[in-house]
Amino acid sequence: MSIGMLLYNMRNKKPSVKCKRCGLRYPIDYAECPHCAGLSEQELVELKRANRKGRNDSRQLGKKMLLAAVALITILLFITM
Ligand SMILES: [Zn+2]
């Protein structure tokens, strides 16, 4: 999957379906899933793992941002007291 294709899909907002094999979304007018078509089972496992890792990384980042915000508020409270 390329970033160009991803942007193309986002811009066009075509109805999409979720692939039963890899779980990724692709435009409904595609004959087959562009993400996993032609991939072996091993490559499919790698693709799924990469996607799961990406989601976990963004969740981790959100948690860090929240902690930073809480720390900042705590510091501000101490300064103003
Ligand atoms: Zn797929």
pLDDT, tens only, 35-44: 999 999 999 9
Confidence at residue 4, expressed as pLDDT on a 0 to 100 scale: 79
Domain boundaries, the chain: 1-38, 40-81
Give the global pTM.
0.49
Predicted confidence at residue 50, as pLDDT, reads 87
The pLDDT score that the predictor gives to residue 11 is: 66
d(C-alpha 35, C-alpha 43), whole Å:
11
Q: Report the SS3 class of residue 69.
A: helix
Confirm if 22 and 36 have CB atoms less than 8 A apart: yes
- Residue 7 parent element (H or E): helix 3-12
CA 72 / ligand 1 centre spacing (Å) = 43
**Ligand 1 centroid – CA 77 distance (Å):** 50
- pLDDT per residue over 7-62, tens digit each? 666 666 778 999 999 999 999 999 999 999 999 999 999 999 988 877 777 788 88
CA of 29 to the centre of ligand 1 (A): 14
For residue 6, the CA-to-ligand 1 centroid distance in Å is 14
Q: How far is the CA of 56 from the centre of ligand 1 (A)?
A: 20
